[in-house]
Structure 1
């Protein structure tokens, strides 16, 4: 590669995608994965200045304090200063520490088994929130706190606890939290009503999208299912991406793929449904997009202007099951499979389940 080459030379311009082969040939594996994990938008939105030390790219005085504290720590040769929130140290909560590995091994969170664990604690939280099934966020938070508290205690001269001890204490704390909650009134069911997929308004099309991150294989998958106001399947997509993306980046790119598929099918009035609350809220302008997906969201907003009407709605996993199944199945495809007015065999049963509940689904 030319020593004067710019980032644009690493992008296939007509497809607005990274030149995967060139990047992997020109860079060391670690650097290549770091580059490929940055999502880019086909709409080529304008460049903008961002502050890399905050999650949403917006400059804050608090973030400069963290940067300054870290710099002073390194300058003075100390491990870290009191009160400093250094994310490089937070990684010890879930990797690189024998005690942490022992602790996580005692829980249902298989963080210690990841071959390519996230580098930032916030990415771990996103990965947890986007994982399938019910997630016990309280147990995770209490366990992480127990590890961090133990680390600080050791730094101040106390005896280090074993992983089994930390995990056991975390379970006791969790039970205390549960017992402190008010008891439900007698006769009132505590179980929420299970929500099901519902028909979109007349004349519109519902676009369900989901992503799956396969950390152990360094790739991810996208799933898209599009149905009309009669519940008939208009199109579906199952795509495998052969490079690593974080959970939030994968969800954003899956949403992008779903919107582009709807456009290619000639559907101009759509409702986009996904179970990533961060992506949906960013599309609706409710929150500032997280820095890793900032340009993806900007590009999608520009592209959505071409539609007659659009709406983005956050859904639960139970109303997004077909897209989730296709995303998980992406491990079994070579690149991308698209179905038009045909039902993918992987989701036939779930489609029938949804149809059976259409008569009882509220409008």
Structure 2
């Protein structure tokens, strides 16, 4: 919760409290650069303990760029590091971002950006949209689609469950096409909360810590799933011998992260199935003394997967016809015009393609337009930019009774609901 109070200090949610704290603890700095000081109170120590966590997610939203230092404030849309990594010229130490914006304030001055920034910073800067109307710079929360700070997103960042390699691993795991109980099991194994003998002893349960099968090693999750003699036999026969290469101190999450680096989703599904099969076999042996062969573990796991896939297929058949009907293009009401639009990102060459087509209430083609826009953007920013381009284009030939249709729910929700505070909303 202290992270939330730190965020309020950064955003000056309570100007009086912010000014008092600033005068007492960081009179010549911002909170993100504040230090502990000579005589810190318990409250200040607690707030400063959350400084690193908050700095990982807070970013400066560029309006006119006059209040944001180029090198001293995190303003680049990168979850790993929001600061500039380009070498700082001594004479430009206190320069602000408005020096990188062209005179019309609607675009970046690419000549200056190319000369001043390295490749990484160059690409990130071009992903930042600039507002059509000049406004003051402000703070937003990078880890939320709406740019609003939440304790949940901050906690997930601290736990390593969002962004970077960690976030990519969790997304891959939760997106596995497996029954929910298997994915939940994998999550529990990664969090090291499986009730192995070693964990039970930690909870003051009087049990033998040794593995119930090999009776040679302490039963931990990584032993049961990867290094026990039975597990080694299973992985070897399945052509996944690398799963048994476990160094000292590695956890289940470490092993799975290593194997989930490549893009072979069939391999990920197989690994998840066999891990669940090994744990189920372990429980049957410990509590019922029922042995199971390697073939039995494989058959049990594959049978469960086939049954689940069949149930998913049957459930999908009932909705397939309705989904197809919903995807059919519909004519606008009488006297109205419908404009369909879309965008495509080509970040390799630093451009996005936008296109739109207009049809009348009879479905007859009226006119169309396509255009290339310079800049590297994420999908949602590109969709928002395509809507902006379509609005400007339509305004030149029709000013009323227009329906705009696009396939980005994020953009539609932002228009009809809470627009939030992220850089995406600048478009």
Measured against the shorter chain, the TM-score band is 0.5 to 0.7
Match of 1:10 among 92, 100, 107: 100
2:246 maps to 1:156: no
Aligned to 2:310: 179
Aligned to 1:42: 132
Aligned to 1:260: 392
CA gap 1:45/1:275 in 2 versus in 1, 3 angstroms: farther
- Taking the aligned partners of 1:292 and 1:25, their CA distance within structure 2 comes to 25
CA gap 1:150/1:48 in 2 versus in 1, 3 angstroms: same
Q: Contact 2:131–2:426 (CA<8 Å) still a contact in 1?
A: yes
- Taking the aligned partners of 2:359 and 2:150, their CA distance within structure 1 comes to 43
Unaligned runs of 5+ in 1: 70-82, 95-120, 125-136, 297-363
Q: Contact 1:226–1:234 (CA<8 Å) still a contact in 2?
A: yes
CA gap 1:141/1:279 in 2 versus in 1, 3 angstroms: farther
Shift of 1:209: 1.2
Aligned residues: 241
CA RMSD of aligned residues (A): 4.2
Aligned to 1:274: 406
3-state SS in 1 of match to 2:370: strand
Shift of 1:65: 3.7
Aligned to 1:28: 118
Shift of 1:200: 1.6
2:370 maps to 1:238: yes
- Taking the aligned partners of 2:144 and 2:343, their CA distance within structure 1 comes to 25
Q: Contact 2:160–2:166 (CA<8 Å) still a contact in 1?
A: no
Match of 2:415 among 283, 286, 292: 283
CA gap 1:55/1:198 in 2 versus in 1, 3 angstroms: closer
Shift of 1:256: 1.1
- Taking the aligned partners of 1:218 and 1:169, their CA distance within structure 2 comes to 38
- Taking the aligned partners of 2:400 and 2:392, their CA distance within structure 1 comes to 11
Aligned to 1:191: 321
- Taking the aligned partners of 1:88 and 1:185, their CA distance within structure 2 comes to 34
CA gap 1:190/1:31 in 2 versus in 1, 3 angstroms: closer
Which of 1 and 2 has higher RCO (CA within 8 Å, sep 6+)? 1
Q: Give deviations 1:113-165, integer Å, cap 9, x for gaps.
A: xxxxxxxx6xx9xxxxxxxxxxxx66399999999889775632699475664
3-state SS in 1 of match to 2:391: helix
What TM-score do you get using the length of structure 2 for normalisation? 0.46
Shift of 1:227: 2.5
3-state SS in 1 of match to 2:128: coil
Aligned to 1:166: 268
Unaligned runs of 5+ in 2: 1-88, 192-221, 223-245, 274-301
What TM-score do you get using the length of structure 1 for normalisation? 0.53
Q: Give deviations 1:195-245, integer Å, cap 9, x for gaps.
A: 332222233221211111235544321111122334344432212234321
